Chain A
């Protein structure tokens, strides 16, 4: 069944349009995300970084598949499990790893950390820590696209744990009411931290069906095959571009690690080791796409291995870069609070902005 479906998605026009180089780039991006996070985990465990580390490993096809569809006026915003999205839109490993290390060379100059990557120059708006809190922002980015009369959309990601937040429902209503080009994407990995979907949400057949209540188009899709992600998300992109209408997508996926690295109960706690191993064996998005490319003759085993090893080296090099980078200067605490102060404008130098003495 899965094989039949994937052939269909492989042959979708949006996938047919992919060149050999495009396909290799998609594969490379997925490998880079996985290797980046494996290396990040290693140094997190070596106490090189503080705070939380929410790993995306197992879900790579979703961010990479979606990012590969983005055009000039398409935007992306997500929650705290955001390393994959950042790398997928083209952020560099060095700036991303350095941010985890809290270094001045980090993408947010060490001010954001793991949960807060941003790259507005790549239409990437974070990286947000409060569950569901980014969904109104994504709605607003779509509002901005429409207000500026651009043909674009905002892919607004969240986990399945976010769907019970009020802000999410308010966003669905506003998006449908104002006909905003926003694509809400629930990356459903089955668990809101340690609570399974069945124990946290009331829903008809699936979470995305809640869109019915707002008269919004919706779809449930399997995220393990990047071809399927691309072909079915593209329909939502076209709806946004051509009709300025929102869509709610639920993409089933799986995280191999815990909610965060500090989540000790994810193996033989709220889920079994067998379950995790089954996903790794049968549903791994990188293996699935590699098999496609081998069958298509796009890649050889050797070439696939080399791409992965290059990604691994890039990740290790980024850790070296991060390790050797300087921590921010204490005086930088006062930067990036107020635009007007940072830019030395008259407004920024009128009146007192900080109250430390």
Chain B
């Protein structure tokens, strides 16, 4: 099977959706003539031109709000944030307008908008550029939030996100953009295209002794940890990739926990009110009798992101930390 980079998979999803639906338009800083700050949209402006691929000024509140307004009228904008960290300057437009207008209008309006871009630490760009706001976005009813861990999922989930009629916050990773995975050609697929529904988790590795629940780049971390656990400690870890935070596939998580009886929630959020914090509350409620150990969590260290490269690496969850946490309960 062909291998595709994470960024190329996203580009392919955009290209296919732009071809499918004349209302789909990509907007953001440097997405057109510059070919994308992270080259995600490379070649799309050449192919689709000014109408479908639009460079915006550095004006997140303005252009995200413009996208929300256009979506109310039936345009289906895909808005690129160069970094998801810039959500703070577009907060009112994202939360109050995209997230609340349907409710406040009694269902008269909907916003079929996707806001996408990288949301990760680990690249030595300092605290303001290293936010992972999936927990924050998912905390608002009305929002959907997707965090793909690999190229295959990124392509299929982005296509579903663009077709969704609610606002979808789609979080990528600059660390994964260049990594490659198997992604089939459309001609190799039974339906002729790759669409992964939102709200369906994926067991990335089967195991029997402990469940690692994760999303985004933490999935890669957990898969490495699972290898170490098997090779060095004879422990069989199951890795459950949530893929979407809201809607959330809780059943796949519970099913795994009922099998392994031990669970660690691993994500790159800070621990306070992280995705793992929410999961821990749900798991203890729904799987109390199945648990042989307390629900554990591994998060980024609870400090702002450190610039200095070797120190920042220690702040993020890395395989050895996950292994150590597993050994505490197995």
Contact = CB atoms under 8 A, between A and B. Distances in A.
B197 interface: yes
A140 B66 contact: yes
Nearest to B110: A339
4 closest Cβ contacts across the A-B interface?
A351-B199, A140-B69, A136-B65, A170-B62
A136 B64 contact: yes
A144 B70 contact: yes
A139 B66 contact: yes
A293 interface: no
B59 A144 contact: no
A267 to B, nearest CB: 32
Interface in A323-337: 335-337
A126 interface: yes
B92 A174 contact: no
Interface in A158-177: 166-167, 170-171, 173-174, 177
B67 interface: yes
B142 A137 contact: no
A329 B51 CA distance: 45
Interface stretch (A43-51, A61-69, A101-109, A312-320): A101-109
Interface in B132-157: 141-142, 144
B15 interface: no
Contact of B248 (A126, A142, A336, A352): A352
A139 B64 CA distance: 11
B19 interface: no
B68 A337 contact: no
A136 B113 CA distance: 15
Interface stretch (B160-168, B170-178, B203-211, B261-269): B160-168
B33 to A, nearest CB: 14
B87 interface: no
8 contacts: A75-B73, A120-B109, A127-B105, A137-B65, A139-B66, A142-B69, A170-B65, A352-B248
Interface stretch (A202-210, A295-303, A340-348): A340-348
A325 B164 CA distance: 35
A129 B95 CA distance: 13
A335 B107 contact: yes
A8 interface: no
Interface of B: 25, 51, 56-57, 59, 61-75, 92-93, 96-97, 101-110, 112, 141-142, 144, 160, 164-166, 197-200, 244, 246-250, 278, 282, 285
Contacts of B198: 347, 350-351
A340 B110 CA distance: 10
Contact of B197 (A112, A166, A346): A346
Interface residues of A, number: 60
A125 B70 contact: no
A77 B109 CA distance: 13
Contacts of A354: 141
Given A136-B62, A136-B65, A167-B93, A347 B104 contact: no
Contact of B165 (A109, A339, A352): A339
Contacts of A174: 56-57, 59, 62-63, 66
Contacts of A142: 69
A23 interface: no
B61 A144 contact: no
